[in-house]
Amino acid sequence: MSAPVMIFLGTAGSGKGTQAQKLSENLDIVHLSTGDLLREARDNSTELGEAAESYIAAGDLVPDELILNLIKEKLSDDNIRSKGCILDGFPRTIAQAEGLSALLKTLNITLDKVFLFDISLEETIERLGGRRICATCQRIFHVKHNPATAANHPCDGELKIRVDDTEEKIRYRYKVYQEQTAPLIDYYSAKLVTLDAAASPDIIYNTIKGQIMALED
Ligand code: AMP
């Protein structure tokens, strides 16, 4: 069996990034978050970062061509073939999904599963309002549900609120998701596993892990 290749699909605040981080660390699977890669590029003022900055701040999607170039470079990494990968927050449009499909075909890699993190707008607003991200290690915390401690945050880096985590931007990003990303639910219907993203993080983690283990049988 080849290493698992999965997409995590869902609105901002659905918990996909937190689950992807944990699965990646525990099961040694590559975690590719286009949001993290874009923020890193922005913070390092690279050409990509400068091109993406205004889209990120507005809560709009970065143009497909820029995202596909970024993913093309990352998917060529040999670790993907040996360890597998979680695509977190990519694809976000049908054009990106078609680009991904072509790329995977060239690399002779099969997409195994698409996990949909299903959650309401109200829950999203509650979660993202309390979200904090470490500027150093990129770990995600929540002031109420998952506060940073010496045990879960050994680097003790500065915790920041994202520029796009205001209520107005969260509502706007939800609308962008419904318009541009939700069509992927039908597109991937054959590989889709829908998760109740309001359930406890442990239940969600174990469900996904179970699905990954079943792929290996
Ligand atoms: P995220 O961290 O996944 O919530 O992404 C933060 C922001 O980065 C989004 O609101 C977009 O501006 C941009 N972004 C991340 N991934 C993509 C993608 N696959 N396509 C277009 N824009 C993206």
Sign of CA dihedral 89, 48, 134, 57: negative
Q: How many residues does the chain have?
A: 217
pTM of the predicted model as reported, rounded to 2 decimal places: 0.90
Ligand 1: centre distance to CA 4 (Å): 23
Let me know if 42 is a catalytic residue. Answer: no
Q: Is the CB–ligand 1 distance for residue 9 below 6 Å?
A: no
Residue 127 catalytic? Answer: no
Tell me the pLDDT tens digit for each residue of 50-74.
999 999 999 999 999 999 999 999 9
Q: Which of 22, 72, 74, 162 is catalytic?
A: 162
Amino acid (one-letter) located at 161: I
State if residue 61 touches ligand 1 by the CB under 6 angstroms criterion. Answer: yes
Pocket of ligand 1 contains residue 170 by CB under 6 Å: no
Has 16 been annotated as catalytic? Answer: yes
Burial of 118 by CB count in 10 Å (0-12 exposed, 13-18 middle, 19+ buried)? middle
- pLDDT (tens digit, 0 to 9) for every residue of the chain, 217 residues total? 579 999 999 999 899 999 999 999 999 999 999 999 999 999 999 999 999 999 999 999 999 999 999 999 999 898 998 999 999 999 999 999 999 999 999 999 999 999 999 999 999 998 888 999 999 998 989 998 889 999 999 999 999 998 888 899 999 999 999 999 999 999 999 999 999 999 999 999 999 999 999 997 6
- The answer to whether 13 touches 123, Cβ cutoff 8 Å, is yes
For 43, 119, 131, 215, the CA distances from 14, given in Å and listed in that order, are: 24, 6, 12, 24
Render pLDDT for 149-186 as a digit per residue (tens, 0 to 9). Answer: 999 999 999 999 988 888 999 999 999 999 999 999 99
Catalytic residue among 42, 131, 132, 139: 131
The alpha carbon of 113 and the centre of ligand 1 are apart by a number of angstroms equal to 21
What integer pLDDT is reported at residue 116 of this predicted model?
98
With 0-12 CB in 10 A as exposed, 13-18 as middle and 19+ as buried, what is 167?
exposed
Give the closest residue (by CA) to ligand 1 atom 2: 35
Bridge-based pairing state of the strands 30-33 and 131-134:
unpaired
Predicted local confidence at residue 111, as pLDDT = 97
